[in-house]
Amino acid sequence: MAAPTKRRISYFYDSDIGNFHYGQGHPMKPHRVRMTHSLVVYYWLYRNMEILRPKPVLLSEMTRFHSDDYINFLRVITPDNMQEYMRQLQRFNVGEDCPVFDGLFEFCQLYTSGSIGGAALLNQKEADIVINWSGGLHHAKKSEASGFCYVNDCVLAILELLKHHHRVLYIDIDIHHGDGVEEAFYTTDRVMTVSFHKFGEYFPGTGDVSDFGHGNGKNYAINFPLHDGMDDESFVSVFRPVIGKVMETFAPGAIVLQCGADSLSGDRLGCFNLSLKGHADAVAFVKSFDVPVLALGGGGYTLRNVPRCWVYETSVLQGTEIKDDLPFHDYFEYYGPDYKLHLPVSNMENLNTKPYLETIKQQLFTILSQVSPTGAQIQTGQPGTSMTPPDAALPETARERESEMEERDPDTRVGDVGEGRKEHPLEMMPEGDGTRR
């Protein structure tokens, strides 16, 4: 047999992502992405990937899904002018879980740019796997922030992939239901959403097994509701058969995989009991189908565990083994006292019984047996095509912003001018490593 072709992997990262801060005491910490990148560098994993800094997306790309007034609101709102926008703050659900902070729009632009840019790379066949650990903010709605998420980069990446792929599969292993993505594609058969999540008196409260799509999208929303204490053995026993059946019946041209790390044991907001290997088994299984994959981040609120998870899953996507002993690096002290990659699971009870898991699995197999072999059209918002909605024109303020962004030097990062942000030293790779910045 011929040796398998090596998968081409691209990795999006901008060191500015670690400069943004949701506020004191808030569980969402973008700094975790910078910590992940530090481990990627010091485990030498960057040598096996093309390292890219995302090109800032335009407002018109964000409004392929989100409403113009919502995106314009995110662009103008600041901690200093909040009092002038009290009605809009309430209307767009911005303020508590989704606070206003300095650089909010630039933050949204950064993580979204990596996901849309990654989808474009897959479309152009310049990569087989693309990684953007800053993305995966799956709760945001068309005109509303939700669950720490403002712009739904998952939806926008899927819309980009739909320009070249007839069918796109979205898989979500965050402990929270991927409600924003499911809602966006609930009535189409060109996108199947599959979510494995905690269900029952838990945010966002959606994702029952009986929620399986509507209209043309009937049977194309797959939900596996789970209980507290989900462990590796139980997770693998449901994930592999369900995704195997999905791949058999739906046959996607590309996959978006949301790898929320809040399903790990010991997460600050989670209640599952997965190890790194159990979580990453899902990543390895998805990779095994040899279909283009966009791997995104998502939840994850125990700061020392999220980088462990995502650097390990970077190694899994590469097929590279890394040592359990963490390399000495900028954030080494976060991982004491053991300084190991893999973390122990707890002795919490697994409330997911085998009969329960089997019952849900068979229900999903029944739903999947009704998936049709063809799909209908969906509006992608691609300019200059018949698939663009007739009322997709941007308002004057958005056109002005887009014009400003087009005139900007593409090699200058958003926020470089006048904001006093410094480049993080880890963004600059050793010379001669063969990667493109």
Summarised one tens digit per residue, pLDDT across range 388-409 is 333 333 333 344 444 444 443 4
* H or E, element range at 130: strand 129-132
Q: What share of the chain is helix, strand, coil (3-state, %, to 5)?
A: 40, 10, 50
Tell me the percentage of the chain whose pLDDT exceeds 70: 84
Residue ranges per domain, the chain?
Answer: 9-369
* H or E, element range at 129: strand 129-132
- Token pair, residue 237, equals 């026993």
Examine the pLDDT at 308 and tell me if it is beyond 90: yes
Examine the pLDDT at 413 and tell me if it is beyond 50: no
Q: Which residues are catalytic?
A: 139
Beta sheet of 293-296, edge-to-edge order: 50-52, 9-12, 129-132, 293-296, 254-258, 168-172, 191-198, 221-226
Per-residue confidence band for 373, with pLDDT thresholds at 50, 70 and 90: confident
| 97 assigned binding-site residue | yes
pTM: 0.86
Tell me the percentage of the chain whose pLDDT exceeds 90: 83
- Residue range 3-16: mean pLDDT, rounded: 86
Examine the pLDDT at 214 and tell me if it is beyond 70: yes
Q: Backbone phi, then psi, for 177, in 5-degree steps?
A: -60, 135
pLDDT at 64: 98
| 262 assigned binding-site residue | yes
- Residue range 309-328: mean pLDDT, rounded: 98
Q: What is the pLDDT of residues 262-295, one digit of tens each?
A: 999 999 999 999 999 999 999 999 999 999 999 9
Examine the pLDDT at 181 and tell me if it is beyond 50: yes
Examine the pLDDT at 422 and tell me if it is beyond 80: no
- Residue range 26-31: mean pLDDT, rounded: 98
Examine the pLDDT at 376 and tell me if it is beyond 50: no
- Residue range 198-205: mean pLDDT, rounded: 96
Report whether 242 contacts 224 (CB < 8 A).
yes
Examine the pLDDT at 234 and tell me if it is beyond 70: yes
Q: What is the pLDDT of residues 110-123, one digit of tens each?
A: 999 999 999 999 99
Per-residue confidence band for 103, with pLDDT thresholds at 50, 70 and 90: very high
pLDDT at 424: 39
User: Could you say which of 3.30.1280.10, 3.10.20.740, 3.50.50.60, 3.40.800.20 is the CATH number of the domain covering 9-369?
Assistant: 3.40.800.20
Per-residue confidence band for 374, with pLDDT thresholds at 50, 70 and 90: low
